[in-house]
Chains A and B, each alone.
Chain A
Amino acid sequence: MHRRKVLIVCLVVLAAAFGGSIWTSTELSAMHDQLALQEVLYLPSVKTVKAMSLGYTGLMADVYWTRVVQYYGRKHLEKSVAYKLLPPLLDITTTLDPHLDIAYEFGAFFLSQKPPQGAGAPDEAIALVKKGIAQNPDHWRLYYDLGFVYWMEKKDFRDAAEAFASGAKLPGSKPWMTTMAGAMAQGADDLGMARTLWNDVLKETKDPLIRNNAAQRLQCIDSDEAVMALQKRVDAFKEHFGRNPGNMRELVDVGLLRGIPLDPVGNPYGINAYGEVVVKDQSKLPFITKGLPHGEEATVLYNKFVSAAEEKKQKEEEEKKKHEEQKSSGPGTRPTDQK
């Protein structure tokens, strides 16, 4: 009957149109990335965004926070080397809602880490967390995040120790923060400390991206430790047989190993031509410092050393300049601000 016909046609159109709208919508979402790239220059200033929110800054902050996560996730998937929008997005989010701690923490990790794991901008990370501390001086976690950045990416143990120490004084902080402060002050930089810190991140944070990152870090630490242990066995082989083992199989055959060891992502460790233990797929374990291809480990260490040394040199030169300015301005001048 007529009404039955209408019903059927409508349902068919409904289904087809729904399908069509989902399809076009998905295609449009894919296009958003390209649009987003174009919009790099057109992210509105913080003041504009604040004005546009018509007072609903909390809601806008949440919207922008979602965009931060989406942006990072999308870029990370593409193994991007530039996260240009991440600093301004985080800046907008934290200006709209200065108490959104998770944003500061996110920035601490993902602004500071080197690409493609992060934006490789530790100074911006530090600036962001300091902004957070200014707005929330009694949130101990922020000091922890600050210390983390200083230690992990800047290798600035003094500032790291100071951050941990300040945080340790606040209610709710973890008791080991004082110990950490002390250890840092001594310039300790070992895998054990790193493991403790990342374990704690994993335990305390609920944000899935940060947890993922921490888990990966722990895996890499496991790998580093495993590589070091394996290297000892390889060296033992060398000593005994006077030559490098060709592969792990030989170690098993002579009883130095019980089975072919696998790295945390399931690939077997190998031995290169130089008799060094190597990790098969470095891309899956991005934070390892051992088991890298020949020469690269040296590069990593070199870079670490160089950047640390350069920074030290930079600081020394600044101090010298200040000292000389003080001297030249003569006695009776106002004392400059001490750090």
Chain B
Amino acid sequence: MFAIETVALEKTYTVGFWRKATRQALKPLTLSIPEHEVFGFLGPNGAGKTTTLKLLMGLIYPTGGSAKIRGMDVQDPRVKAQIGYSPEQPYFYDYLTAHELLRYYAQLSQVPAREQEKRVSGVLERVGLRDIGKLQLRKFSKGMLQRVSIAQAIIHNPPLVFLDEPMSGLDPMGRREVRDLIQALKEEGKTIFFSTHILSDAETLCDRVAVVNKGELKGVGAIADLNTRGTGETEVLWEGTGEIQGFRALGEPHRSAEFWRVLVPDDKVYAAIDLVRQNHGRLISVTPLRETLEDYFFEKLNSKEVQP
């Protein structure tokens, strides 16, 4: 049984005053996400990421296809006990404190009464909001709200966590903390589905990613696979020499600041190293280039075919 499974999940809105025109926010989407996976949902703004998430959360209803979480249809109320959700641009009750809010949410999520207090303080600590005391939520900064949002998503310890742009509004420190938190959740064995448009975060955290654009799924791939796909080139950096003649055959060396840089095909690496040594240069680094997520992303973004 998959953690999350969609079959031709589709959402079309009727727009305009007379409701005649249609806008397809999400084209038929078929995805299967196994348990314990960290799945990244990538795409530019307006690609359909939030639509997909809302469909999975039961906040909007599909106009076609189906979606299941742990084998149950997403409309089934039993599903809600198994999931945690952090929305994009979270906003909470102005006049409550974070503590009261989380207590309330714990209650609604049926966390046993005697455990609620413990969980609340525990989760606040985890998201780095230990000392906010009696501050009302309306006084929270965007970053603080983001942390509260994640806190409420995990307070009832659900096996699946859904995060919509969890890093938005955070400074680099905050992003680091959230990244670490997601990593920790992953280690706890949770299944994590998160959408973002920041590729570096996805690259670090995800097992697999999907690329969507204009409501359509463009491609799904495993990060590990990307890492093993080489571009076929290696970058060599050295210093302490003048221009070395012999490199022409291997590649074009360029000088930047104090060192030289050249890209040579993988099989010519040792020849390049020898050349540098022969010229009494000092090697700085030898780095095989791998395809980055960014390359994959842009490749898939505008591709015509939909890849499985």
Contact = CB atoms under 8 A, between A and B. Distances in A.
B74 to A, nearest CB: 11
- The 5 A-B residue pairs with the shortest CB-CB distance, nearest first, are A2-B77, A3-B75, A2-B75, A2-B76, A1-B75
Interface of A: 1-3
Interface string B71-85: 000011100000000
A311 B213 CA distance: 98
Contacts of A1: 75
Interface residues of B, number: 3
Contacts of B76: 2
B67 to A, nearest CB: 14
Interface string B263-276: 00000000000000
A227 B301 CA distance: 102
A144 B76 CA distance: 77
Q: Chain B: interface secondary structure?
A: loop
B63 to A, nearest CB: 15
Contacts of B77: 2
Contacts of A2: 75-77
Interface in B69-126: 75-77
Nearest to B78: A2
Contacts of B75: 1-3
A2 B78 CA distance: 11
A157 to B, nearest CB: 68
A3 B76 CA distance: 9
A1 B72 CA distance: 12
A1 B77 CA distance: 11
A184 B133 CA distance: 96
5 contacts: A1-B75, A2-B75, A2-B76, A2-B77, A3-B75
A284 B279 CA distance: 132
B296 to A, nearest CB: 39
Interface in B244-284: none
Contacts of A3: 75
A2 B74 CA distance: 11
A302 B220 CA distance: 108
A196 B56 CA distance: 82
A6 to B, nearest CB: 11
Nearest to B58: A3
B268 to A, nearest CB: 64
A81 B155 CA distance: 76
A3 B77 CA distance: 10
A1 B75 CA distance: 9
B263 to A, nearest CB: 59
B194 to A, nearest CB: 28
Nearest to A3: B75
A1 to B, nearest CB: 7
A2 B72 CA distance: 13
A128 B159 CA distance: 83
Interface in B32-91: 75-77
B243 to A, nearest CB: 74
A2 B75 CA distance: 8
A1 B78 CA distance: 13
Interface in B223-243: none
A2 B77 CA distance: 8
A68 B82 CA distance: 65
B134 to A, nearest CB: 39
A3 B74 CA distance: 12
Nearest to B76: A2
A190 to B, nearest CB: 68
A1 B76 CA distance: 8
Interface string B140-171: 00000000000000000000000000000000
A3 B62 CA distance: 14
B81 to A, nearest CB: 14
A4 to B, nearest CB: 10
A339 B76 CA distance: 91
Nearest to A1: B75
A22 B83 CA distance: 45
B80 to A, nearest CB: 11
B283 to A, nearest CB: 67
A80 B179 CA distance: 85
A2 B61 CA distance: 14
A199 B76 CA distance: 74
A11 to B, nearest CB: 19
A3 B58 CA distance: 12
A271 B77 CA distance: 85
A192 to B, nearest CB: 65
A253 B101 CA distance: 101
A2 to B, nearest CB: 6
B72 to A, nearest CB: 11
A137 B76 CA distance: 76
A26 to B, nearest CB: 38
B73 to A, nearest CB: 8
